[in-house]
Amino acid sequence: MPQYVFYPPQLPVDRKVVTAARKLAASLGATVVRTVAGSILLEATPAKAAQVAKALPGWRYSVETQGHRLPEHSPSKLVRAADIDKKATDSRSRERVR
């Protein structure tokens, strides 16, 4: 199911406004995935997203194209992991020679 990001009409956003918008979206059948910095990430059909947009006057929305990303490892962690893999491979090759 596609995800949509709803943006508030003005910044800064009052927490009560965002909470009310979340409750309204949930009551209309959309699944609230996350709320960050006043914007709301919803999972809904295109028809439900349009219905939520009509119910929230002034709020803009767009299709979420980024998706969820995993955090990247720091370069030092990648080097350590490569060293550990190399040591494991070396120890396995020594065991085969014996």
What percent of the chain lies above the pLDDT cut of 70?
Answer: 71
pLDDT greater than 60 at residue 26 = yes
Structure confidence by residue, pLDDT tens digits, 3-22: 999 998 887 888 899 999 99
What is the per-residue pLDDT for 92? 60
Question: Which tokens in the block code for residue 89?
Answer: 């491979």
Confidence label for 70 from pLDDT (cuts 50, 70 and 90): very low
pTM of the predicted model as reported, rounded to 2 decimal places: 0.62
CB 8 within 8 A of CB 57: no
- Locate the DSSP E strands across the chain: 3-7, 31-36, 39-43, 60-63
Domains of the chain, first to last: 3-63 (3.30.70.330)
22 and 35 Cβ atoms separated by less than 8 Å: yes
Q: Which residues contact 57 (CB under 8 A, 6 or more apart)?
A: 9
Q: Is the pLDDT of residue 97 over 60?
A: no
Mean pLDDT over each residue of the chain, to the nearest integer: 81
